């Protein structure tokens, strides 16, 4: 039974303050992505920390839930790491106080924000085949590859894929034989999966597996160590700080944006904001255009954000910005709207 604030952290969107002093001696955390698997009490978690020039961002998630909890912070020359933990509600969840760390292991204590309800926290660097692997960016399909009971020669796995409409699914379960960085599963009837491990991703190559999936659902693609689903990993934002600011800005509409960035197109900033501009869409079949445009996000180095998304249910475009708004679209977003095959009224959410 998960109790108290930990239950809240595991079952709903969560934000809090995560204070982590890391005692880094001969083995500091490496620049780039660092993946850890561990537990808070007896609850399994997965954690990703991205470190660049002393700045830390990333996510962690309870393995049973998979909801990303954003992490931001910094690490100093003495090896002290301080991070904050957020979601769109800015609710404090608890604290992690890590008392010992090296390159491959973090140990400490989780507690509620007032210091009560302490639970042991430990995590080790994730490596090898074991764990959950997420594929969330192939046309209209997302997938989860779960691997367990890993030995030197084989492992058990379940590969589950689903269309974004959840109308069609695919599922393969079995035992794969390992040879170096590849593992192979065969059903004895001609179907075959080749899984190739490369650092923190697994590339899946199916052969004659169509009858294991519904129409339009496929298994191939890169599966990333998870269970982290974010717009950072889809390439819309550079780090969790930007995604957190965006989540605060758009609130519940984050889900609409997330589903709209299956395919990303780099666009030009014609406003002169110095912004990175990403157009989002989904793959469609038939007709003369293979990508249906659905969203656009502009983010500038000084923290400015301008974003628009088509709300199919309301049949309009919802526009957001953290700058003085009024009812005028930036030139870049106006040009994107004018290029759409259908015309929509604009709802200025922040006017």
User: Are 339 and 251 part of one and the same domain?
Assistant: yes
Is 235 contained in some domain?
no
**Residue 273: what pLDDT?**
96
The residues that bridge with 60 in the sheet, in sequence order, are 47, 69
Is 325 contained in some domain?
yes
Is 233 contained in some domain?
no
User: Are 168 and 81 part of one and the same domain?
Assistant: no
| pTM of the model as a whole | 0.57
Cα–Cα distance between 84 and 19 in angstroms, integer? 7
Is 110 contained in some domain?
yes
Number of domains in the chain: 3
Which of 103, 125, 147 delimits the end of a domain? 125
What are the distances in angstroms from CA 156 to CA 132, 153, 176, 185?
A: 12, 11, 6, 10
User: Are 140 and 208 part of one and the same domain?
Assistant: yes
Is 231 contained in some domain?
no
User: Are 264 and 178 part of one and the same domain?
Assistant: no
DSSP code for 117: S
pLDDT tens, N- to C-terminus, the chain (351 residues)? 333 333 333 333 333 434 444 443 333 677 887 888 889 888 888 888 888 888 878 888 877 666 677 777 777 766 667 777 776 566 667 777 765 467 788 777 887 778 888 888 888 888 789 888 888 654 455 788 989 899 989 999 999 887 655 567 889 999 999 998 999 999 999 999 999 998 778 999 999 999 998 877 889 888 888 756 678 777 888 877 788 788 878 877 887 888 788 778 999 999 999 999 999 987 664 444 456 789 999 999 999 999 999 998 899 999 999 998 778 999 999 999 999 989 999 999 987
* Domain assignment of residue 284, given as a range: 240-348
**Residue 71: what pLDDT?**
78
User: Are 208 and 295 part of one and the same domain?
Assistant: no
User: Are 144 and 216 part of one and the same domain?
Assistant: yes
Q: Quick check: 308 and 337 in contact, CB under 8 A?
A: yes
- The SS3 call for residue 25 is coil
Is 75 contained in some domain?
yes
**Residue 21: what pLDDT?**
46
User: Are 297 and 190 part of one and the same domain?
Assistant: no
User: Are 115 and 24 part of one and the same domain?
Assistant: yes
CATH at 181: 2.40.128
User: Are 35 and 94 part of one and the same domain?
Assistant: yes
User: Are 52 and 154 part of one and the same domain?
Assistant: no
DSSP code for 330: -
Cα–Cα distance between 96 and 126 in angstroms, integer? 19
Is 269 contained in some domain?
yes
Which of 179, 196, 225 delimits the end of a domain? 225
**Residue 93: what pLDDT?**
74
Which of 199, 225, 251 delimits the end of a domain? 225
Is 65 contained in some domain?
yes
Q: How many CA atoms lie within 13 A of 182 on its CB side?
A: 7
User: Are 94 and 175 part of one and the same domain?
Assistant: no
What are the distances in angstroms from CA 228 to CA 35, 63, 67, 135, 225?
A: 11, 10, 8, 10, 8
């Amino acid at each position: 039974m998960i109790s108290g604030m930990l239950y809240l952290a595991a079952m709903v969107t969560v934000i809090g303050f995560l204070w982590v002093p890391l005692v880094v001696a001969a083995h500091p955390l490496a620049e780039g992505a660092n993946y850890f698997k561990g537990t808070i009490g007896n609850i399994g978690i997965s954690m990703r920390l991205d470190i660049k020039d002393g700045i830390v961002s990333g996510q962690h998630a309870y393995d049973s839930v998979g909801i990303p909890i954003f992490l931001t912070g910094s690490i100093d020359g003495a090896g002290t790491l301080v991070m904050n933990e957020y979601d769109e509600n800015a609710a404090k969840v608890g604290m992690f106080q890590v008392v010992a760390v090296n390159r491959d292991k973090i140990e400490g204590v989780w507690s509620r924000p007032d210091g009560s309800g302490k639970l042991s926290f430990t995590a080790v660097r994730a490596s090898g085949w074991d764990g959950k692997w997420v594929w969330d960016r192939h046309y209209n399909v997302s997938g989860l590859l779960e691997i367990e009971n890993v030995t030197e020669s084989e492992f058990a796995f379940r590969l589950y894929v689903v269309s974004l409409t959840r109308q069609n699914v695919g599922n393969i379960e079995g035992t794969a034989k390992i040879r170096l960085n590849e593992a192979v599963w065969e059903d004895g009837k001609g179907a075959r999966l080749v899984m190739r491990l490369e650092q923190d991703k697994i590339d899946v190559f199916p052969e004659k597996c169509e009858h294991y999936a519904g129409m339009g659902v496929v298994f191939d693609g890169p599966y990333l160590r998870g269970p982290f689903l974010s717009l950072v990993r889809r390439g819309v934002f550079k780090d969790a700080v930007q995604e957190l600011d965006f989540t605060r800005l758009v609130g519940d509409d984050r889900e609409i944006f997330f589903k709209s960035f299956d395919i990303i197109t780099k666009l030009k900033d014609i406003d002169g904001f110095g912004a990175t501009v990403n157009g989002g869409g989904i793959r469609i079949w038939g007709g003369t255009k293979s990508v249906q445009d659905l969203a656009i996000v502009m983010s500038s180095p000084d923290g400015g954000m301008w974003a628009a998304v088509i709300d199919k249910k309301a049949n309009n475009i919802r526009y957001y910005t953290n700058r003085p708004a009024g009812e005028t679209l930036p030139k870049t977003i106006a040009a994107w709207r004018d290029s759409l095959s259908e015309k929509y009224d604009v709802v200025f959410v922040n006017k």
